[in-house]
Structure 1
Amino acid sequence: MNDEQPQYALKQDIKRVLIPKILQLISLGAVFYFAIWLNLFLLEVEDSIKFYVTIGAIIVLVIAVILEIILLIQKTNKNKYLFYSAQVGFKGKEMPYVNVVHVSFRQNFIDKIFNTGTIILYPDFLIEKVPNLNQVYFYVQKLIQSAKGQV
């Protein structure tokens, strides 16, 4: 299948990937900041040193969040679900349509907020963070039916 051009390439929804990760990083950063502040308070460090350590911690956290966002955007843009006439692939993992036993989809709370979802190709392939879930779901069903000769 390496020579065959994909019929369809699907990227994960960038907002669905980024926003929960950013919120997670901000939460962890707040815990980290509070831990540093608590240590400085309990050690009764001078106010001027507290200020510089606090500013340094904030700068490190901001840089870490920015780097994580950049890496996540690159990773998300690079990785695509590739739909071929006989199989779907993602990150080197492939699922031939003839091996699909059942197709379903699910939406969790976060997916409902971003209007995304996960398409499940049983037994073991997930198409996650899918924008336009219903449209892609029906497209995948048609591909599978076509590959199995049920059209």
Structure 2
Amino acid sequence: MNGEQPQYSLSQDLARTLIPKLLQLIGLGVVFYFAIWLNLYLLNAKDSTKNYTLIITIIILFIAVIIELILIIIKISKNKYLFYQHKLEFKDQSIPFVNVTNVYLQKNLLDKIFNTGTIILYPNFKIEKISNVNQVFYYVQKLVQITKQKASS
């Protein structure tokens, strides 16, 4: 990075990342809960044992979901897309703008629901789950264009 300050920094959209993950965790928790309930039912466990076990299961699942959501929030807040004058960085990935052959905008169903999107910098870089995707898309296109013009002159 040689001390260069980023011109722009961008985080993934928190709601776009958290809500699908939360729904996934709740779905898996429900399956897990019913699997335990079925085991207790088939083992003909006492009612008090069933109740205690199911309450403990619910508490453990709730704590696991909360911990997972906190870890996701920490991960999202640490990982930012950093735009420099001649390159883009995310985590340990970096792509110089002169290597970008094309810039695409992609939106799937979840992106349409959350008004987010993915910008693909061809050949091998994605800016995923970001809000204001159209504005960022034009910004990235302009950066790539300016960098290529400077490199060719």
Q: Does the pair score TM above 0.5?
A: yes
Corresponding residue of 1:89 = 89
Return the letter of the residue paired with 2:141: Q
The CA deviation at 1:130 is 1.1
Corresponding residue of 1:123 = 123
Corresponding residue of 1:15 = 15
The CA deviation at 1:2 is 3.2
Corresponding residue of 1:36 = 36
Number of residues paired by the alignment? Answer: 150
Return the letter of the residue paired with 1:88: L
Partners of 2:123 and 2:143 lie apart in 1 by 17
Matches within 5 A, 1:103-142: 103-142=103-142
Return the letter of the residue paired with 1:71: L
Partners of 2:2 and 2:147 lie apart in 1 by 18
The CA deviation at 1:51 is 0.2
State the identity %: 62
Cα RMSD, aligned residues only: 0.8
The CA deviation at 1:13 is 0.2
- Does residue 45 in structure 1 map to residue 45 in structure 2? yes
Q: Deviations over 1:69-118 (max 9, x none)?
A: 11100000000000000000000100000000100011000010000000
The alignment partner of 1:136 has SS state of helix
The alignment partner of 2:117 has SS state of strand
Partners of 2:101 and 2:34 lie apart in 1 by 50
The alignment partner of 1:149 has SS state of helix
The CA deviation at 1:8 is 0.3
TM-score by length of 1: 0.98
The alignment partner of 1:121 has SS state of strand
Return the letter of the residue paired with 1:138: Y
List gaps (5 residues or longer) in structure 2.
none
Partners of 2:17 and 2:7 lie apart in 1 by 24
Return the letter of the residue paired with 1:99: N
The CA deviation at 1:149 is 1.1
Partners of 1:119 and 1:84 lie apart in 2 by 17
Return the letter of the residue paired with 2:133: L
Partners of 2:129 and 2:105 lie apart in 1 by 11
Regions of 4+ moved over 6 Å? none
